[in-house]
Structure 1
Amino acid sequence: MIRGNAKQITRATRALETYEQSAFPGEPSLLQHDPLYAEALLTALLCDLEHYANHHGINFTSAISTGHSINTEEATDQTTYEVGDQVRLTRQSGRCGSIIGWTSPAPDVQPDYLVEVPGVPFVYAETAAHLTPAPPFPPTETSLGTITHANQAEQAYTSITAQLLSTAEPTHEILDQDRHRLLDALSSWSGISTTQLHEALTPPPRATATSCWPTTTNRSRVAPQEDTGNRARRFPPS
C-alpha cells in the first residue's frame, strides 16, 4: 500500500494554483474540477520552467530526471506491508518470500520488514525500498485442495512428506505427485532450488530407542531442528 506525502502534495498544489492565478488573473480556479485542464496547466508550467532553465544555463532534462528518481524512491519508502504479504527481495537475487513481521528502531525511521523465504534457514530484514510485491504464488492442485500461498505450500509439503513412509499404494503415489508439484511451484516462485527446498522442508526422521543421538547418516537432518526454532531471530551473515 502506498501513501502519498501530504506536505509535498500541498506544496505542489500551492505552486500550481499560484501559476494558474498568474496565467488567468481574476478567473476562478478549475484545478479541482477538470483533470484535463489541470494536466494542460501543469504542461504549461513545465514548459515555462524549461524556458527559465535554459535562460539560466540549467540542465532541465537532468533536473526532471533527478526529480523523477527522487519521487520514485520516496514513493517506495512510503510503501507499507502487512504480515502475510508476499514480496520479492530486490537485493537477494529476486528471491520471494512472505512478511512475518517488522522491526522499527525509532518512530521516524523506516521499519525493517522480516521476510521468510521458503528453504532459507534465516530471516531477511529489508526496508520497503528493497522490496516489491511478489508475483502471485502459482495455484497448485493437490489431493488436499488448491494451494494458493507459499506458506500453505510449505506446510502441505512437510505434512505430505511425513505421511509417505506410512502410506500404501495407490495413495502413496498420489501424495508423492502432490509433493513434487508443490516443490516445483515453491521453487519457481521463491527462486530457491528444489534440492535446497527438499532438504529444508523434509521433516527429520523420528528418533528410535536405539538411535537417541545424531549419527553420521542423520546428523544433517536432525541439526536443522535448532535452526527452525530460532528462525525468526536469525539473519543473513553480513
Structure 2
Amino acid sequence: MSPESYRPTSIRAIIFGIIAFIIVLSIFCGLSEVIKFVGSPFLILPEKLGWIPDVSKADVVTVNMKDKSTQIIFDRTGNYVVYAYNYDLLLMTDELAKANAKPWLAIVNSQNGHNIIPEYVQRGLTPFDSSLARGRPIFHFVVMESGTYQITYPSREVFIFFLPDQVTGNMGVILFSFIIQIVILGIPVWSILNTRHKKNQAKLDEIRNLKTTSDEKFWQELKRQRESQHGKTK
C-alpha cells in the first residue's frame, strides 16, 4: 500500500455529506421545515432553564380557515404567534404588511369583548422558529387574560396554527444559549477530528517510513549483489 493510494476521510467530505443530507431532506420535507428542524434542538436548553416559554405539541392549535371563525382557549398569558404555510396566504399577508393594512385576523375575548389586534411578523424564517407548526410566523399578539377567544378570518381551504411565541423578545437569550451549546458541542467534535487526523497522519508516516525502508533495503541488496559479482570476476 502506497501513500498515493491511501486517502483518509477529510473534514471537507464530512461537510459535503451533511450538506447532501440536508438537500435531500429539503426535497422531501421542504426547506423551511428543515431549517426549523436543525434549530429546534438548540431550544431545549433555554426551555429547561426557563429562559423561554416551554412549548409542546399539545400547545399548538390547528385551525381550518374554511369555517370563517372559531373559538380558542388560551390557557396561558403572554406572547402568541400564528403560523401559515400556504403560499397564497403568505403572499397576501406579506402584501398587506407592506401596505400597513389592517390584519385579516380578528381576535376577541369572548368574556369581555376586548379586541386583540395582531401584529404582522415582518421578518424571514429563522432556525429558532417552532418546528411544531408548519410554515413560518405571520402574526404575533399578546394575551393579557387567559380564557376563550373568538377568532375570525376570511374563508379559505387552508390551515393556520396558533401557539405560544418563544422567539419574540427572547432572541438575545436564544442566541446566547446557541453559542454556548455550539462551544460545548464543538470541543468534543474538535477533539475527535483532531485525534482522527493524528491517527491518519501517523498511518501515512508509517507508510512513508515503510516505503523508505524498503527502498533502502532494495538498494543495499543490489549493491551487495554487484559487489559479490565484481569479486567473482577478479
Larger RCO: Structure 1 or Structure 2 (Cα < 8 Å, ≥ 6 residues apart)? 2
- Is the TM-score greater than 0.5? no
TM-score (structure 2 length as normaliser): 0.22
| Structure with greater strand share of residues | 2
Bigger Rg over Cα? 2
